Every structure is written in structure tokens, then in C-alpha cells.
Structure 1
Amino acid sequence: MTQQKRTVFYLSDRTGITAETLGHSLLTQFDGIEWETVNVPFLDDIENAQAVLAQINRAAECDGYRPLVFSTLLKPEILEVIKQANCRLFDFFETFIRSIEEELHQPFVRMAGRSHGLQHHLSYFKRIAAINYVLAHDDGVNPKNFAEADIILIGVSRSGKTPTCLYLGLQYGIAAANYPLTEEDMSSQQLPKVLENVRGKLFGLTLSAAQLHFIRQERRPNSQYASLAQCQREIQWQESLFHLFNIPFLDTTRISIEEISATILNRCGLKRQLYG
């Protein structure tokens, strides 16, 4: 079955993160469409707006369908240019702002960049501090500072600890450390000594042996480290360890890093440290 091909534009007078995030979330609910994505950040003058208008019209002619355009543009004169294009426009501010203005009995300030700017300095610096902590405590480095962590992810090599820690730091301001469980740990059937005093902060990541085998094959093809048998042994051992020491853990085989992170926060009772 041939997929329908459509073009989607994300337009913003700043970074475009809000338009892309909201638009993408909506479009994931529709199957059978191959999307050609065009991001246009910092669209803040008439000349560039006219160029984007022409680009939208070319896409409509090429696709045979009018493009979808998701916008967080604030300047009325820029938005008026885009409205002339052969497209289906979804303006997030127009959709929601009027109702909020009515409820709050005041007009919105029409100031671009507030959601991703530096208005909340404390929140911003919390994010930077959290990311610095993650980078300084990746892969078992500096375990003497683990007591300062909000959470410590543990699991065998390539189980997703580092990317999850980075996402927790970037999106939530969580100081996340991680510690790799190794073959040497397997022989003892005990928690590594450096983790004994921080057991209450531990959270395990696991996945299917087949998925681990696939990931490790990309890193070290046809090695003992990547063999399915080795992956099966390590996964079986680490899950036994999690059960033995009552360490909460999550099977990440079929879930995204966003869902992994949100699940960890929910199960551990951690709160977002940003935007406070």
C-alpha cells in the first residue's frame, strides 16, 4: 500500500520548539502518511515570510495536497503573509490565547521567546547544573558524589542509562548518575560496594536480550560481548539482582526515552526542578 505524502511546516519567530513539539504530537495520531518536515525558526521579517509563502505553495503543487502549517508566530503582519499560502494553517496562539485572555481579563504581551528564554534564571541554572552533574557522573565516574544524586540508574552495558540520565537533566533538571553492572559484578551476586549506601536512590533499566543483542552488535559486531547468549545471561542476572535487593526497575524494550523518564519520575516520586 502506497503511503500518502504530505508536507508539514513548523513556523516560529523564535526556536520553533513549541510548534514542532505540539504539531508532531498531533500528527503521530494519523497512520499511513509519509511526512516531509520543514522547520522555519526565527521567521521575523516580511521578506523571509514571502519566501516561505512561495515554498509552501511549491510544496502544495509538488505533493498534490496543501501542506499543513503549524505556527507560533506572534507578529500579525508575518502571519498575514503566511495566511495567503495554499495551506491548512494551525495557529496555536490564535487557538488558545483568546480564551485565556477572556478568563484572565488581560491581554497577552505578544512577546516572542518567553517559553525558551532566560526569564526564569533560577530554572535555567538548575538545568545547567543538572546536566553538568550527569556528565560528571556518567558510567560510574565519581561514585563518592552519588549521595548528591536525585537518582542513580543501574543496568548492564548499553541498557540506555546515559541517554536517559541526559534527558532527565535536560528536560526535568534532575541530577541523575548512572552505574554500569559488569561481568565482575555478576560473579559476586552482590551489589557493588559503591552502591550500598545509596540503595534508596537506585533504579534499574532492563530490556529484552534480543534488543540488547541488536544494540551491542551495532557497537561490537560478532563479539562475545554482543552475543545473544551473553546478553541473555546478563539480563537474567541483573533482573535477579533487582529482585533480590528490591530495586525498582523498568523494561525499556518498547518504550521511548521520554516515556522511560516520565515513568521513572512517577514511580520514584521525583518532581520536575525546572520552571519553578
Structure 2
Amino acid sequence: MRRTAFFVSDGTAITAETFGHSLLTQFNKVDFREIRLPFVDTEAKAHDAVSLINKAAEAGEDKPLVFSTIVNHKVGRVLTNANAHIFDMFATFMEPLERVLGIESSPRIGRAHGMGDSDTYEDRMEATNYALTHDDGISKRLDKADVILVGVSRSGKTPTCLYLALHYGIKAANYPLTEEDLEQPRLPAFLREHKAKLFGLTIDPERLCKIRETRRPGSRYASVKQCRYEVDAAESLLRAEGVPMLSSTGSSVEELASRIILHLGLQKDAS
């Protein structure tokens, strides 16, 4: 079964896509073709969006699904002319929320992902710079780190660190365990000094092999045997040191970041 899903907004469409995609993942028997239509902020653009949606309806056997977070009522009204099933996320929740709060909303495009709080923005930029300068063990001065991710090369440490920085302002460093490290009975001393900040990332060896193969095809580094050795040795070392760990196999960066924050008590404001 195949269906087309549109995420439409007069802003970036990030909210519509995130929420809509979360709903669609609950229907694993359907193959969804997902299309994002951001910045539909005029009636003319809304008519263009309707044309695209209608073309998809004509090409498919079923009506497309449209997840909308359009704030402007006039623009949103145009969208209802599409030959599709419309899920207006703001309309669903806004009226009940106004009743509960006892006040009317003050619609403004882009407010959900704005950078109005300059302190929050600066925190995230500083954390991002920190993640970049403390990536892959570049710096062993980790006093200012909020969290230090440890694991074998290509286990997902760098993207997770950057996500923690950009979305939460968390200063995340990471260190790749080398063969030399894995042959030792203990983690390097400079890591043990910050044991409360350590968190391990592991990965399925076969998945690791595929990732490494794209980087260094045919190398010992990418062989299944080497990947199995490194993953097994890293997991044993982290368990012996009492370092909590998660597998990045099949987990999104968002999920990994959320679980790390929860486990280490690093809750900060999200974007």
C-alpha cells in the first residue's frame, strides 16, 4: 500500500513534518512518499500547493494526506480546496487550548522555531563550537564538557554530539576507542577523570561494517572480523568501567540524544 503525504506550512514545515512523520511511522504496512512544502505564506502559494496536491491525487489511487501548520486563516482556507485528507494541526489544538487558557492566541508565523532568546541562541552556538573542537578526541581537556560520548569509530558519536549542541545547548565531546585503547584493561586516565559524564555508543558489527565500507572499501578497518572485534572489546571495556551505553543500530539521532539526556539528567530547553 502506497500513499503520498504532504507537510505544509507558512513557516519551515519542521513542526508539520516532525509531528506528521511521527504519526505515519505507526502504520508500517504503508509505504509513504513524504513531501515537504514550506513557506506557503500567501494565498497564491497556497493555490500552487493545492495544484501539486491535486496532481498527486490524480496520479494515485487514494487521496493524499496533508498535515498542515499554516497559521494564516485565509491561506489555510485555500488549502481546504485540495483533493486530499487535511489534518490541520493548529486547528485541532488551538481552539481547545484557548478555552482552557481563557485567552485568544496571537498567531505569528515562525514563532515555534524562532531565535528570539539571544542567550539560548548563544548557548547553542557555543555548544556547537565546543562539539566541533572536541570531536574524535581532538582535545583531551574535557572539564567543560556536559557529556563525553565514547565508542568505536563510526558508531554515531559525532552526529549525536552535534544534535545535542544544536537543539539543547549541551557541550558534548566524543572520543573514539582505538585498538590500542581496546587492548588495555582500563579506559584512558583522562576519561576516567570524568566518569560521571561518560556515555557509551555501540553498534551492530554488520551495520558498522557497511558504514565503514563506504569510507574505506576493502580495508581491514571495514572488515566484519575487525568490526566484531572492536565492538565486542569496546562493550566489554565499557561494562567493566560501569559506563552506561546505547546501541545506535536502528536508533535515530533524536532518540539517542533524548535517552542520553534522560539518563545523565541533562535536561535543557529544546528548540
Q: Classify the TM-score, shorter chain.
A: over 0.9
Partner of 1:56: 53
* Comparing 69-78 and 231-240, the one that deviates more: 231-240
Partner of 1:182: 178
Partner of 1:113: 110
Q: CA deviation at 1:28?
A: 0.8
Contact 2:182 2:237 (8 Å CA) reproduced: no
1:190-209 alignment runs, 5 A limit = 190-209=186-205
5+ residue gaps, structure 1: none
Partner of 2:17: 20
CA 1:175–1:273 in structure 2 vs 1: closer, same or farther (change >3 Å)? farther
Question: 1:83 corresponds to which letter in structure 2?
Answer: T
Partner of 2:146: 150
SS of the residue 1:147 aligns to? coil
SS of the residue 1:89 aligns to? strand
SS of the residue 1:110 aligns to? coil
Partner of 2:70: 73
Contact 1:174 1:273 (8 Å CA) reproduced: no
Q: CA deviation at 1:238?
A: 1.4
Partner of 1:164: 160
SS of the residue 2:183 aligns to? helix
Q: Give the whole-Å Cα distance in 2 for the aligned partners of 1:111 and 1:256.
A: 31
Q: Give the whole-Å Cα distance in 2 for the aligned partners of 1:51 and 1:132.
A: 40
Q: Give the whole-Å Cα distance in 1 for the aligned partners of 2:178 and 2:226.
A: 12
* Comparing 228-237 and 23-32, the one that deviates more: 228-237
Q: CA deviation at 1:134?
A: 0.7
Partner of 2:169: 173
5+ residue gaps, structure 2: none
Q: CA deviation at 1:26?
A: 0.6
1:141-192 CA distances to partner (integer Å, 9 max, x unpaired)?
A: 1222x11000000111111111111111122221100011111223333322
Partner of 1:29: 26
Partner of 2:258: 262
**Alignment partner for residue 245 of structure 1, among 241, 261, 264?**
241
Contact 1:139 1:180 (8 Å CA) reproduced: yes
Q: How many residues align?
A: 271
Contact 1:70 1:91 (8 Å CA) reproduced: yes
Partner of 2:133: 136
Q: CA deviation at 1:46?
A: 1.7
Question: 1:70 corresponds to which letter in structure 2?
Answer: F
Q: CA deviation at 1:106?
A: 0.5
Question: 1:259 corresponds to which letter in structure 2?
Answer: E
Partner of 1:40: 37
* Comparing 180-189 and 154-163, the one that deviates more: 180-189
- Over the matched positions of the two proteins, sequence identity in percent amounts to 46
Tell me the TM-score normalized by structure 1: 0.93
Q: CA deviation at 1:71?
A: 0.7
Q: CA deviation at 1:89?
A: 0.7
Q: Which runs of 4+ in 1 moved over 6 A?
A: none
Q: CA deviation at 1:97?
A: 0.4
1:236 has 2:232 as partner? yes
* Comparing 124-133 and 252-261, the one that deviates more: 252-261
Q: Give the whole-Å Cα distance in 1 for the aligned partners of 2:39 and 2:22.
A: 22
Q: Give the whole-Å Cα distance in 1 for the aligned partners of 2:122 and 2:15.
A: 21
Question: 2:145 corresponds to which letter in structure 1?
Answer: A
Q: CA deviation at 1:248?
A: 1.5
Q: Give the whole-Å Cα distance in 2 for the aligned partners of 1:253 and 1:168.
A: 18
